[in-house]
Amino acid sequence: GENVGLHLPTLSVQEGDNSIINCAYSNSASDYFIWYKQESGKGPQFIIDIRSNMDKRQGQRVTVLLNKTVKHLSLQIAATQPGDSAVYFCAETGEGSARQLTFGSGTQLTVLP
Amino acid sequence: DTGVSQDPRHKITKRGQNVTFRCDPISEHNRLYWYRQTLGQGPEFLTYFQNEAQLEKSRLLSDRFSAERPKGSFSTLEIQRTEQGDSAMYLCASSSLGTYGYTFGSGTRLTVV
């Protein structure tokens, strides 16, 4: 129903553990994917991106994995810290002049002390 | 700070009133986007400017909404005859032609009472 999105999937992890956040995307023609972090009252903040010609990309403490066969994206956060608590969104974009982003449903990550 | 600036941060208005929001993108970015985000959902694309030209509009952008970017720098989003369903966070983002990444502003939270 229309209210499904009000209940975000949640993930709780202990501080210091690794986190894995998953996302299913919809458009097989999408060629660029981004993970954003959004803290309460703030705009989305870029974390890491990946192009469709790659299946893995690493950043500082974060890794993005792309499986185009099943249209699945994941974000791995190593040694999760309290400051990582936020809502995480994946976004995709494809061809077209505007290159607007289509966002997936977010995941609320809570880091427990 | 050379990020994307949005003003105001919060706006409470009575139903039926008009409201206008402003976005100042990163100065060298020629692409500017407006998105809308409701509680628990990812941002949804509203419209896109390349320099001063509005090149794409979502079906979400009803005729009560109008956006401008008169000199290819800052942009305004106006909502006429506001309705309670317009209550949302309005996000602005900017990027450069030839790049994929966006930078989002912190948004304007609109509450229509």
- What integer pLDDT is reported at residue B50 of this predicted model? 93
pLDDT tens digit string along B36-76? 999 889 999 999 999 999 999 998 889 999 999 998 899 99
> What is the nearest CA distance from A4 to chain B, expressed in angstroms?
9
What value, to the nearest 5°, has the Cα angle with vertex A24 and ends A21 and A26? 155
Residue A2: the pLDDT is: 35
Q: Is A107 on the interface with B (CB under 8 A)?
A: no
Q: What is the pLDDT of residue B88?
A: 97
In this predicted structure, the answer to whether residue A84 has a pLDDT above a threshold of 90 is yes
* Average confidence (pLDDT) over A48-53: 94
Structure tokens at A69: 């066969």
Which of B33, B104, B109 is the closest to A100 by Cβ?
B33
Residues of chain A positioned with their CB less than 8 A from the CB of B109: 41
Size of chain B in residues:
113
Distance from C-alpha of B44 to C-alpha of B23, rounded to nearest angstrom = 17
Backbone angles phi, psi at B86, to 5 degrees: -80, -10
Residue range A23-48: mean pLDDT, rounded: 92
| Confidence at residue A96, expressed as pLDDT on a 0 to 100 scale | 67
pLDDT at res. A5: 38
Contact by Cβ (8 Å): B52, B70: yes
pLDDT at residue A97, rounded to an integer: 65
